[in-house]
């Protein structure tokens, strides 16, 4: 079933995630906080390519993004979990197509990611209102961008897998 | 008799015609007694368009700035020599200019990515400066880039000094644009507006670098007084920074 990961160029599009994280475009920020670019790429990938490929992509993204950030707090566990979960949603349920569904999945995913980060910051004794503000802002902006960006990617990946099966 | 009477009348008449001159004389006496009132004021009013204007003020100010700069550089050299004698600082530190290639002042981490790395001699812990003061310290390096932990980051801790009240404090990043200054004792006498500089005893960062200005003080904080500090270096606007290599 999983087919996208076999094509190098499909996986290479994931390089856009660290690039956008570093560029951090100011016009796509909500109160100084940018979206979780990793989630916006991972969601359509996992929905089309399944839980194993999704978890693998989450692992790869998590390793790269953790390398770009300060400190010991990691995005990796949440990204692996979300890749696996979204892969299952894509495989087991009815096909996800509607913008609202994509936005809702991105919102829940961003809450999970932010929640794990907040828990790690709390464990380090650094959690407070600024971190809660980051969680809420990032969740909102990610969920707002998801219908627009994820539906285009979903279309592209479905075209690719349809071509591969055909 | 008639002659004498007519003479007196003529005298009185001539005196009567002199009264305007007497008034002028009285006015002049008034001017004398009031040290030139009226005359000086009229002169000031008439010459106001020709008074030394802003151009001359700027001229004087630029001369003063030049003098201050020369004095400052002389004091810096002197200070460095003395610190070197006290072995607080190694003598082989140098500045390296670097471009800011990624900026993340908000969000989970507060960091910059600059375009100079280990190939240029930048090392972990090197202080990073911008116009206005200290920005942060290098947290990690790659061959051509360095990641800078800003003073606002939640993991940032820096010993600072308040010259006015001669007290030390610990500048702690909390993830907001304004870090928290934690004092070592209760009620140290800090006030909003006090300048915060790097500790003169520091061996991690250059001494006496401007960090910011105290914005508000909370004397009721537990266990000791806390203050909110507005940083002087504008993180959002800085495109180039200076890394002080080998300052540790």
The pLDDT of residue A19 is above 70: yes
The rounded distance, in Å, linking the Cα atoms of A102 and A110 is 12
| Per-residue pLDDT, B93 | 67
Secondary structure letter of residue B207 according to DSSP: T
Residue B117 shares a structural domain with residue B202: yes
How many angstroms separate the Cα of A15 from the Cα of each of A38, A55, A61, B197? 10, 17, 9, 41
Residue B82 shares a structural domain with residue B98: no
Secondary structure letter of residue B210 according to DSSP: E
| Per-residue pLDDT, B1 | 47
Q: What is the CATH number of the domain that holds B171?
A: 2.40.10.340
Instruction: Please write the tens of the pLDDT for every residue from B203-246.
Output: 778 888 889 999 999 888 878 889 999 999 888 888 889 998 87
Query: For chain B, which residues score pLDDT lower than 50?
Result: 1
Nearest-5° Cα angle at B201, B198 to B245: 65
Residue B106 shares a structural domain with residue B202: yes
Instruction: Please write the tens of the pLDDT for every residue from B50-71.
Output: 777 777 778 888 889 999 999 9
| Per-residue pLDDT, A1 | 46
Residue B238 shares a structural domain with residue B124: yes
Residue B130 shares a structural domain with residue B235: yes
| Per-residue pLDDT, A55 | 92
Structural domains in chain B (count): 3
Set of chain B residues whose Cβ sits within 8 Å of the Cβ of A17: none
- The reply to whether A128 touches chain B by the CB within 8 Å rule is yes
Residue B240 shares a structural domain with residue B148: yes
Report the residue from B101, B104, B174 with minimal CB separation from A130.
B174
Rounded to a whole number of angstroms, the distance from the CA of B56 to the nearest CA of chain A is 44
Domain boundaries, chain A: 24-160
ipTM of the complex, rounded to two decimals: 0.84
Long-range contacts of A39-42 (CB under 8 A, 24+ apart): A39/A79, A39/A82, A39/A106, A39/A109, A39/A110, A39/A113, A39/A142, A39/A146, A40/A106, A40/A142, A40/A145, A40/A146, A40/A149, A40/A150, A41/A13, A41/A14, A41/A16, A41/A17, A41/A153, A42/A79, A42/A82, A42/A83, A42/A86, A42/A109
Residue B133 shares a structural domain with residue B216: yes
Average confidence (pLDDT) over A119-129 = 89
Residue B132 shares a structural domain with residue B78: no
Cβ within 8 Å, pair B108-A29: no
Domain that holds residue B171: 94-245
Residue B70 shares a structural domain with residue B114: no
Residue B8 shares a structural domain with residue B38: yes
Residue B82 shares a structural domain with residue B122: no
Rounded to a whole number of angstroms, the distance from the CA of B106 to the nearest CA of chain A is 5
Residue B9 shares a structural domain with residue B130: no
Average confidence (pLDDT) over A34-41 = 93
């Amino acid at each position: 079933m999983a087919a996208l990961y076999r094509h190098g160029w499909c996986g290479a599009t994931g390089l856009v995630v660290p690039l956008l994280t570093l560029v951090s475009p100011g016009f796509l920020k909500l109160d100084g906080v940018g979206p979780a670019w990793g989630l916006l790429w991972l969601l359509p990938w996992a929905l089309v390519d399944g839980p194993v490929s999704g978890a693998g992509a989450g692992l790869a993204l998590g390793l790269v993004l953790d390398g770009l950030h300060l400190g010991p707090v990691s995005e990796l566990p949440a990204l692996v979990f979300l890749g696996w979960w979204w892969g299952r949603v894509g495989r087991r349920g009815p096909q996800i197509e509607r913008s609202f569904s994509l936005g809702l999945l991105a919102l829940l995913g961003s809450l999970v990611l932010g929640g794990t980060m907040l828990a790690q910051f709390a464990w380090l004794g650094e959690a407070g209102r600024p971190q809660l503000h980051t969680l809420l802002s990032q969740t909102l902006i990610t969920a707002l961008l998801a219908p627009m960006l994820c539906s285009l990617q979903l279309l592209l990946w479905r075209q690719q897998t349809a071509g591969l099966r055909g | 008799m008639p002659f004498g009477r007519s003479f007196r009348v003529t005298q009185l008449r001539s005196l009567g015609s002199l009264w305007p001159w007497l008034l002028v004389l009285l006015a002049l006496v008034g001017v004398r007694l009031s040290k030139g009132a009226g005359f000086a004021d009229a002169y000031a009013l008439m010459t106001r368009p020709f008074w030394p204007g802003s151009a001359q003020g700027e001229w004087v100010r630029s001369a003063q700035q030049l003098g201050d700069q020369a004095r400052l550089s002389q004091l810096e050299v002197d200070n460095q020599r003395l610190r070197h004698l006290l072995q607080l600082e190694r003598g082989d530190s140098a500045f390296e200019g670097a471009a800011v290639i990624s900026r993340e002042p908000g969000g989970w981490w507060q960091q910059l990515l600059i375009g100079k790395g280990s190939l240029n001699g930048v090392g972990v812990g090197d202080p990073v400066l911008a116009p206005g003061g200290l920005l942060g310290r290098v947290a990690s390096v790659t061959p051509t880039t360095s990641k800078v932990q800003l003073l606002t980051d939640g993991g940032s801790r820096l010993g600072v000094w308040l010259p006015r009240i001669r007290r030390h404090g610990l500048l702690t990043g909390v993830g907001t644009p304004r870090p928290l200054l934690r004092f070592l004792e209760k009620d140290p006498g800090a006030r909003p507006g006090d300048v915060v500089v790097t500790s003169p005893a520091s061996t991690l960062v250059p001494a006496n670098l401007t960090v910011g200005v105290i914005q508000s003080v909370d004397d009721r904080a537990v266990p000791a007084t806390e203050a909110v500090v507005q940083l002087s270096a504008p993180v959002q606007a800085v495109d180039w920074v200076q890394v002080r290599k080998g300052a540790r």
